Chain A
Amino acid sequence: SQQGEEDPQALSIQEGENATMNCSYKTSINNLQWYRQNSGRGLVHLILIRSNEREKHSGRLRVTLDTSKKSSSLLITASRAADTASYFCATALFMETSGSRLTFGEGTQLTVNP
């Protein structure tokens, strides 16, 4: 079963607005990662937040993590048409032999209208 579940499944906003996507998960994790996928391409890593961190920033991205609620959010500020993509959260559990095993949610499709 999928560990991460994103909400909403789809989000449509105007350029310049902020976009917030949420992710919930079920079991304990080592870290949570957010990825972006443009149509027809592979996933691109955006940001990683460790289980002992509560908030992290990277450019226009802000990620929060609440381990007590088993949830995370990704905020994209001042969105641009180029931000249109699918966004996935992935929970990571480190296995000694296999590195970081990631379990992905189904993604949020973000459309930013010019």
Chain B
Amino acid sequence: DAGITQSPRHKVTETGTPVTLRCHQTENHRYMYWYRQDPGHGLRLIHYSYGVKDTDKGEVSDGYSVSRSKTEDFLLTLESATSSQTSVYFCAISESEILGQPQHFGDGTRLSIL
């Protein structure tokens, strides 16, 4: 298994609170991604990073921000959590610019916002 650790694995919080999810990799891969998985929508890309301090938006970025200060860590922050952000969040990494490199996924964070 690729060395990807997501923390926490489960979290329950209240509407309006800030939440930060962490993805840590030991593979020294350049590219990192945050997805959310919801029934009926599959996986949708929230934000991605193509290097330290280099990030960009995915298709469902509203309400989320990210930071990458080190190669190994990619943080996803919900500035003010809403019930619509209840979901399972997955971090993924990929190695290089080689065309079509597969992505390797962590085991997810199940987030419930009450």
Q: Which of A2, A33, A41, A45 contacts B107 (CB 8 A)?
A: A41
Q: Who on chain B is nearest to A105 by CB?
A: B42
Interface members, chain B 37-91 (any A CB < 8 Å): 40-45, 48, 50, 54, 56, 90
| A22-49 Cβ-contact flags toward B at 8 Å (1 or 0) | 0000000011010100001111110010
- A-side contacts of B90, CB under 8 Å: 42-43
Q: Is there contact, CB below 8 Å, between B43 and A94? A: no
Q: Which of B30, B40, B99, B103 contacts A102 (CB 8 A)?
A: B103
Say yes or no: is B28 at the interface (Cβ < 8 Å to chain A): no
- B-side contacts of A97, CB under 8 Å: 50, 54, 56
Given contacts A98-B56, A100-B94, contact A44 B105 (CB under 8 A): yes
- A-side contacts of B94, CB under 8 Å: 99-100
Chain A interface, number of residues (Cβ within 8 angstroms): 29
Q: Which of A35, A42, A43, A98 contacts B48 (CB 8 A)?
A: A98
Q: Is there contact, CB below 8 Å, between A104 and B43? A: yes
Chain B interface, number of residues (Cβ within 8 angstroms): 29
Q: Who on chain B is nearest to A103 by CB?
A: B45
Interface members, chain A 73-101 (any B CB < 8 Å): 88, 92, 94, 96-101
Q: Is there contact, CB below 8 Å, between A99 and B43? A: no
Given contacts A88-B42, A99-B31, contact A45 B103 (CB under 8 A): yes
Say yes or no: is B22 at the interface (Cβ < 8 Å to chain A): no
Q: How far is the CA of A4 from the CA of B41 in the complex (A)?
A: 11
Q: Is there contact, CB below 8 Å, between A2 and B56? A: no
Q: Is there contact, CB below 8 Å, between A98 and B100? A: no
Give me the interface of B with A, judged by CB distance under 8 Å.
Answer: 4, 30-31, 35, 40-45, 48, 50, 54, 56, 90, 92, 94, 96-97, 99-108
* Contacts beyond the supplied A33-B100, A99-B48: 8 A-B pairs with Cβ under 8 Å: A40-B108, A42-B90, A42-B106, A42-B107, A92-B100, A94-B99, A97-B50, A102-B45
15 A-B pairs with CB atoms under 8 Å apart are A2-B41, A33-B100, A44-B105, A94-B99, A97-B56, A98-B31, A99-B48, A99-B94, A100-B100, A101-B45, A102-B45, A104-B44, A106-B40, A106-B41, A107-B42
